[in-house]
């Protein structure tokens, strides 16, 4: 059985470090410890600290893209 690649992300509610499979990136997940629901992303905002202006600009672009994805997924769900 192939082993899934995982990344570390802390739960936004209980801050426990979790291992999340890359297959769950961009999807809603549930913390198995506290039950909090959140969207799995490779960037943990509480840990990631941009090093320079370029990194800061990239982080802002990624956050804007995440907001757009959330918006459009909500629009698509309301059409169903």
Q: What DSSP element (H or E) covers 51? A: none
Strands (E), the chain: 6-10, 17-21, 28-30, 37-39
At 10 the three-state DSSP class reads strand
pLDDT in tens, 31-60: 999 999 998 886 655 554 545 777 778 888
CA atoms within 13 A on the CB side of 26: 10
Q: What is the pLDDT of residue 50?
A: 47
Mean pLDDT along residues 5-16: 86
């Amino acid at each position: 059985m192939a082993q899934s690649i995982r990344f570390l992300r802390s739960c936004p509610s209980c801050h426990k470090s979790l291992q999340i499979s890359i297959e769950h990136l961009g999807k809603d997940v549930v913390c198995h410890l506290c039950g909090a629901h959140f969207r799995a992303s490779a960037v943990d905002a509480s840990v990631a600290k941009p090093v320079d202006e370029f990194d800061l600009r990239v982080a802002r672009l990624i956050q804007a893209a995440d907001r757009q994805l959330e918006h459009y997924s909500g629009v698509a769900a309301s059409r169903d």
